[in-house]
Amino acid sequence: MLRLLTPADQPALESFLSQYPAATIFLRSNLRASGVGEGDGPFHGIYAARFDGEHITDVAAQFWTDKIILFAPTIAAKLAVFVGIH
């Protein structure tokens, strides 16, 4: 299931990203600076994820600069399009 993340998802997102520290340093840094949720300031992003049950398997974020950053080992293209249209 693909869906946008809310502040309630932040612990699960942090847990997922922390499993891949080198590959997700940019995502983790921006998440730490701005969190998940409403906003339009520096480091803010709209986060989307693919879930397998309760577990995140892929994540994408479209940041305040309109750049989309992915860590999506299973469905990168689909997730990039999903976050880009929201």
DSSP 48-80: EEEEETTEEEEEEEEETTS-EEEE-TTTHHHHH
What pLDDT, in 10s, does the model give residues 21-48?
999 999 999 999 999 987 778 898 999 9
* Spatial strand order in the sheet of 68-71: 2-4, 45-52, 55-63, 68-71
Predicted TM-score (pTM) of this structure: 0.86
Q: With beta carbons less than 8 A apart as the criterion, state whether 61 and 27 touch.
A: yes
What pLDDT, in 10s, does the model give residues 4-20?
999 999 999 999 999 99
Which helix (H) or strand (E) covers residue 30, if one does? helix 25-34
